Amino acid sequence: MASQAQQPPHLHLAELTAAQFLDIWKHFDADGNGYIEGKELENFFRQLETARRGTGVDPTHAAFREKMKEFMMKFDKNADGRIEMSELAQILPTEENFLLCFRTFVGSSAEFMAAWRRYDTDRSGYIEANELKGFLSDLLKKANRHYDDKKLNEYTQTILKMFDLNGDGKLGLSEMARLLPVQENFLLKFEGCKLSAEQFNIIFTFYDKDGNGYIDEQELDALLKDLHDKNKMELDSTGLVGYKKSIMALSDAGKLYRTELEIVLCRDSTL
């Protein structure tokens, strides 16, 4: 006999609170890896169809497979064959203010690292609960959305539970990057060391944001993040400091000029 706790929670509701959204996520992301995929995805779609239609559906039927394929084409925005939290927030009827948390994109890694420095107020290398609360508060204010402190606390705790994958009660660099995804990795436009002079100049100019002719430590943060994302590597604040130290050892007084940048770009696969 199936227990009530095993039943999919809240899928029948017209609007979900932050806490109810988290219940659904935890229910279907059974292995807790941050994605609904494989059998989890099939189970989710079957239960969603049942909740919407009010009757059971047969997952072995060809029509079910076809509908699931159409569903993924619509909602799997990055076409990786699985559903992540930001995609689930577009599928389910989520509370409007809470949905804002999943519309927070930054244009580049430079913008992401600037936000990281702004909200890591104690320079601990993590975004703790109070710092995350400040981030979400600014997000809601910017969108002119009304909220009270109780709601803000609920959003903060829910977002923390969602993105704190290692359960240490705070967000590391890679965890925050999932909450605040970068729209475009500039380096994906270029492959390998065989860059033309024009391509190299484009890259250098892109990361030299203030145009002073060299890349400083803050500008290097963005470059390293893009290199790690390009190579599908996790990045934490401790690693970032270590990489910056080794790279800046190539440079003159914390200034990365074109020659040094060329070395960094050609070694990126060994980071």
CA distances from 110 to 38, 83, 132, 223, 256 (A): 34, 27, 19, 8, 16
Are 160 and 190 within one domain? Answer: no
Are 27 and 82 within one domain? Answer: yes
Ramachandran angles phi, psi of 87, nearest 5°: -75, -40
Share of the chain above pLDDT 70, in %: 93
Compute the distance between CA of residue 157 and CA of residue 150 in angstroms, rounded to an integer: 11
Residue 85, domain extent: 11-94
Are 20 and 90 within one domain? Answer: yes
User: Tell me, what's the pLDDT at 268?
Assistant: 55
User: Tell me, what's the pLDDT at 126?
Assistant: 95
Of 225, 228, 226, 220, nearest in space to 246 by CA: 220
Final residue belonging to a domain, choices 173, 195, 212: 173
Are 258 and 192 within one domain? Answer: yes
**What average pLDDT does range 31-42 have in this prediction?**
91
Compute the distance between CA of residue 176 and CA of residue 160 in angstroms, rounded to an integer: 10
Query: pLDDT (tens digit, 9 = 90+) per residue, 165-188?
Result: 888 999 999 899 888 888 888 888
Q: CB neighbours of 15 closer than 8 A, spacing ≥ 6?
A: 93, 94, 95
**What average pLDDT does range 236-255 have in this prediction?**
81
Compute the distance between CA of residue 271 and CA of residue 268 in angstroms, rounded to an integer: 5
User: Tell me, what's the pLDDT at 139?
Assistant: 92
- DSSP for 24-46, written as a single string: HHHHH-TT-SS-B-THHHHHHHH
pTM across the whole model: 0.77
Tokens at 214, concatenated: 């060299």
Q: Report if residue 259 sits inside a domain.
A: yes
Are 39 and 78 within one domain? Answer: yes
Q: Report if residue 254 sits inside a domain.
A: yes
User: Tell me, what's the pLDDT at 6?
Assistant: 54
Final residue belonging to a domain, choices 63, 94, 125: 94
Is the pLDDT at 55 greater than 80? The verdict is no
Compute the distance between CA of residue 180 and CA of residue 159 in angstroms, rounded to an integer: 12
Are 159 and 217 within one domain? Answer: no
10 in the Ramachandran plot: left (φ > 0), alpha (ψ -120 to 50) or beta? Answer: left
For the purposes of burial, counting CB atoms within 10 Å of the CB of 131, is it exposed (0-12), middle (13-18) or buried (19 or more)?
A: buried
User: Tell me, what's the pLDDT at 8?
Assistant: 62
Average model confidence (pLDDT) across the chain: 86
Counting the structural domains of the chain, the total is 3
Q: Report if residue 200 sits inside a domain.
A: yes
Q: Report if residue 66 sits inside a domain.
A: yes
Q: Report if residue 23 sits inside a domain.
A: yes
Are 106 and 86 within one domain? Answer: no
Is the pLDDT at 145 greater than 80? The verdict is yes
Q: Report if residue 162 sits inside a domain.
A: yes
Are 193 and 123 within one domain? Answer: no
H helices of the chain, in order, are: 18-28, 39-53, 62-75, 85-91, 96-99, 109-119, 129-142, 149-163, 173-179, 197-207, 217-230, 237-248, 258-266
Element (H, E) at 170: strand 170-171
Query: pLDDT (tens digit, 9 = 90+) per residue, 90-134?
Result: 899 888 888 888 878 888 999 999 999 999 999 999 999 999 999
Q: How confident is the model at residue 271 (pLDDT cuts 50, 70, 90)?
A: very low
User: Tell me, what's the pLDDT at 193?
Assistant: 60
**What average pLDDT does range 202-207 have in this prediction?**
91
| 3-state SS class at 78 | coil
Q: Report if residue 181 sits inside a domain.
A: no
Q: Report if residue 115 sits inside a domain.
A: yes
Final residue belonging to a domain, choices 76, 94, 112: 94
Are 133 and 192 within one domain? Answer: no
User: Tell me, what's the pLDDT at 1?
Assistant: 38
Q: What's the CATH number where 24 sits?
A: 1.10.238.10
Are 22 and 58 within one domain? Answer: yes
User: Tell me, what's the pLDDT at 269?
Assistant: 46
- Which range of 56-65, 193-202, 219-228, 254-263 scores highest in mean pLDDT? It is 219-228
